[in-house]
Structure 1
């Protein structure tokens, strides 16, 4: 895979991040998290760091020009002649040009890999933050719905308790009925307190991610599904995960880098050819010596003759590192494939479960209505009504849980194949907003 192809996911992420676009709270939450997160900003800085590796490595292959100035003390002793002593000033320019150094050429290729790795790591961190903030928002919505259901349940139990007390006063209900209603009332109050605490906790999590307080919408309806939520065939997802997953792409870069390390180890055996030239004029020194100018040019060839086995050991070491990188790539591919299959199954399971629970909720609501009529007619007991209320409350909670699991699994599935972007968040946001307006 070429490095240009590796950069495509990041380009998609950045291109699909419209500034200021917000049709609903979900997209706003994700955008705020992307701006607020310090770790993502650090990863963005790593891109700038990685990009500079290429010009640094390239500079090692280009000519180098050095200049300097110095003051020299000279003492000349000649037999049967007086000793000559003098100071001399001079400057020098040196030009050095590598002619052949294979290790530096390999380092240039590795710098390109380092730059690509920084881009991929940022894209992976960007996508992980989008997924984390979206899930945190779903958790907030679920907590808000749970608190709403707990309040509705408390109201229903309170009404049943009040009715039971009234019937008991008229001799139509027993003391046991009143005690059962009071027990359920206490339990409903405790549930409401737990729901409020959970809602507050979820709001704090989102506040940490976004840097602001996020208020859930007053009403959310997830009773319908859009066609775009239908996943493709499993094999399509798996094939995409095997090639596009960020862990797989990073693993491929590690294999390439390890291969280049092996090439650098082999380059230790090759000769190194350098060309150098210098120009060094020196001034006269108070009449003791005439000005002199030294020009030199030299072509040097150096090659290792004996290193005590270090080069062979280094090559064996890099070959082992290359094998290690290949095994890690294989492990990353297998894990990505397994995770993709898991999220695909979770999405379909949650979708089917949501549809089934929708019918169960409808039936439980009808059952509660019938039980209440039966209680008023004397054919059902107070405990029957309380149990029917409990069953309806629990089934509504399970349905909401399945809905959010479906949305979360879909985003996780997209993330596993490195295709999650703000376009998906926008679709979900529009869907949630439309549902809220029609609920």
Structure 2
């Protein structure tokens, strides 16, 4: 029984390691991730689409100035005169569009472009939450696999030593020794692989947060399994079709395509502008032989209308109409993809809960099976190979349970991301399941 106690102690789950938690890692990612910084710059750039479109509806004011020197020779029947003089001038022109169909459409496109930038920024923010959580849990999962490999190797090492001792006294066969040695060597190789996988996961996290990750807070030994709220898949789909930033951006793209039809069709419409100007000229001489200074103020309306451009306007209208139809079909495609992803994410949460519960029960069953096998081995009813097999099944179950727990938590976030409602408080809920620093 002493051997049983030692063995079960080795198989017990290790205590959570205190360290940087998920929220701290997410904040580091917000400060250092190049993808997030690019999204911030893209948002600022996209926001300028609105004032650029609005500028087409506002007045324009231009100033021009010139200075020149003139050298004139005037030949007349009775005389020849030479004149040299300088001329200074300036002109100020104010133009206020009164009716330009193209400009109204371009203004609407600018508003839609700015909205797209906002939706894409929101999509990038939700993506950062997912990427930070995935990178964080990848490190924890890799650390779990390494811990399980180390613990399993220690347990098999003890079993190998016991098999050798029993073989020397004649109570075990050489098969037990060879099987234990083979299992030990296999787990040693698995430990090397697990250690490498852990370093790879840490490097992926380093690329996200810009620095080498410190020790990370681990999951509590037990987590509360929460079903989706509301527990109705179609309600989640309905939310996704109205809240998804990806779908909202596509809808703004449709508005841009619709206004592109209006903008091109505006080539058939007249334009009307209000103009006001002031022109001043000071000539130091003239053919009359005296200086001339003049100031002219004008205000009026300017009307323009294209009558025929070789069919180019009609062709551009047809092209824009076809693009509009194409964009509409893209939106329908996106809507179906969003609905599909939401349903898959919902099912992943439900199945993740069931898998965690099943593996929790399987772990308890495997622990009892190992205990019974060890007792049978001590009484000569079971072989060392039976003990090794029971150990292997227990460690596999513990590894699968660890992966299932992380997968379940990620599925919760993915469901909200698919529905377009993932927020930082959702990350805080996950963070509460970690063992925090004291």
TM-score, normalised with respect to structure 1: 0.89
Q: Distance in 2 between matches of 1:27 and 1:218?
A: 11
2:420 alignment partner, SS class: coil
Aligned residue for 2:296, secondary structure, equals: strand
In the superposition, relative to structure 1, how do residues 223 and 245 fare at CA in structure 2: closer, same or farther (>3 Å)? same
Aligned-pair CA distance for 1:97: 1.9
Q: Are the counterparts in 2 of residues 144 and 216 from structure 1 also a CA contact under 8 Å?
A: no
Check 1:29–1:229 CA distance in 2 against 1; reply closer, same or farther (3 A cut): farther
Question: 1:396 matched to which residue of 2?
Answer: 398
Give the Cα separation in 1 of the matches to 2:311 and 2:379: 98
Secondary structure of 2:268's aligned partner: coil
2:60 aligns with one of 64, 79, 90? 64
| 276-285 vs 224-233, greater mean Cα deviation | 224-233
Corresponding residue for residue 212 of structure 2: 213
Separation of aligned partners in 1, 2:374 and 2:146 = 24
User: 1:24 touches 1:433 (CA, 8 Å); kept in 2?
Assistant: no
Aligned-pair CA distance for 1:73: 4.4
Report what 1:49 is aligned to.
45
Q: Deviations over 1:167-223 (max 9, x none)?
A: 011111111211111111111211211111111111111111111222444753353
Structure 2 Cα separation of the partners of residues 217 and 415 of structure 1: 24
In structure 2, distance between residues paired with 1:386 and 1:318: 71
- The corresponding residue for 2:21 is 25
In 1, Cα distance between equivalents of 2:424 and 2:145: 28
Could you list the per-position Cα deviations for residues 235-279 of structure 1 after superposition, in whole angstroms to 9, with x for gaps in the alignment?
111101111112211110111110000110111111011232322
Asked if 2 retains the 8 angstrom alpha-carbon contact of 1:146 and 1:397, the reply is yes
Equivalents in 2 of 1:294, 1:229: separation in Å? 75
Match of 1:301 in 2: 303
> 1:317-356 maps to which residues of 2 (within 5 A)?
317-356=319-358
| Residues 428 and 262 of structure 1, relative CA distance in 2, 3 Å threshold | same
SS at match of 2:262: helix
The alignment partner of 1:87 has SS state of: strand
Greater shift in the superposed pair: 269-278 or 403-412: 269-278
Structure 2 residue 131 is matched with structure 1 residue 149: no
More moved, 218-227 vs 34-43: 218-227
> Any idea what SS the aligned residue of 1:291 has?
strand
| Counterpart in the other structure of 1:176 | 175
Partner of 1:276: 275
Unaligned runs of 5+ in 1: 1-22
Partner of 1:36: 32
Q: Distance in 2 between matches of 1:184 and 1:165?
A: 14
Q: What is the CA–CA distance in structure 2 between the aligned matches of 1:330 and 1:301, rounded to whole Å?
A: 42
Deviation at 1:226, TM superposition (A): 4.6
Q: Shift of residue 63 of structure 1?
A: 2.1
Q: SS in structure 2 opposite 1:95?
A: strand
Mapping for residues 403-422 of structure 1, pairs under 5 Å? 403-422=405-424
Q: Which runs of 5+ in 2 are unaligned?
A: 1-18
Written as runs of structure 1 = structure 2, the 5 A alignment for 1:97-108 is 97-108=96-107
SS in structure 2 at match of 1:267: helix
Q: Give, in whole Å, the separation in 2 of the partners of 1:313 and 1:31.
A: 52
CA distance in structure 1 between the partners assigned to 2:214 and 2:264 by the alignment: 59
Query: Partners in 1 of 2:136 and 2:226 — Cα distance?
Result: 22
Kept after mapping to 2: 8 A contact 1:164/1:382: yes
Q: Give the equivalent residue in structure 1 for 2:11.
A: none
Counterpart CA distance in 1 for 2:216 and 2:280 is 81
Q: In the TM superposition, what is the alpha-carbon distance from 1:64 to its structure 2 partner?
A: 2.0
CA distance in 2, matches of 1:231, 1:170: 65
Tell me which residue corresponds to 2:112.
Answer: 113
Matching of residues 122-133 of structure 1 within 5 Å: 122-133=121-132
Between the aligned partners of 1:350 and 1:59, the Cα distance in structure 2 is: 53
- In the TM superposition, what is the alpha-carbon distance from 1:137 to its structure 2 partner? 0.7
Does the Cα contact within 8 Å between 1:223 and 1:358 map onto a contact in 2? no
Task: State whether residues 153 and 393 of structure 1, in contact with CA within 8 Å, keep that contact through their aligned partners in structure 2.
Answer: yes
Count matched residues.
414
Shift of 1:84: 5.8
1:263 aligned to 2:231? no
Distance 1:271 1:78, change over 3 A: farther
* Cα 1:83/1:116, change in 2 over 3 Å: farther
Alignment match, 2:251: 252
Contact kept in structure 1, 2:227 and 2:353, CA below 8 Å: no
In structure 1, C-alpha distance between the alignment counterparts of 2:74 and 2:233, rounded to whole Å? 91
Is the 8 Å Cα contact of residues 141 and 216 (structure 1) preserved in structure 2? no
How big is the shift at 1:396? 0.9
Could you say what the CA RMSD is over the residues aligned between the two structures, in angstroms? 2.1
Q: Aligned residue for 1:197?
A: 196
2:142–2:197 Cα contact (<8 Å) kept: yes
What does residue 377 of structure 2 align with?
Answer: 375
